[in-house]
Amino acid sequence: MGLTFREDGYVGVDDSFEVESRWKEQVFYWEGQRGFLFDAGWGVSPPVLYVPPADEWDACTPLWMHGRRDLILLRLETHSRHRIAEGPYPRSQGGLTREV
């Protein structure tokens, strides 16, 4: 478990999940092929990672993330190198998939 630094960002990796920064304002959370894009802000130190408020989490995230906010936020805090802050999110935001 740890961080791998790349020229275009960093990746926090564990056996069951991955936190990936691709650009200044994009932080991806992956579990296998399923993922979610979180908005981030980079003009401050440390950068900020915006997450849906607790009472809106299930309405803003895909089904596989429902009821798992505390665990996912802990992983993001540990591996993203961002400060976590609640921010507005569109409802029913779809998840992402990728080829592994």
CA 15 remoteness from chain centre: 16
Phi, psi of 7 (to 5 degrees): -60, -35
Q: How far apart are the first and last CA of the chain?
A: 19
Helix (H) or strand (E) holding 73: helix 69-79
Give residue-wise pLDDT tens across range 12-44: 555 689 999 877 788 999 998 899 999 888 788
Contact between 54 and 60 (Cβ < 8 Å)? no
pLDDT of residue 71: 95
0.75 cut: is pTM over it? Answer: yes
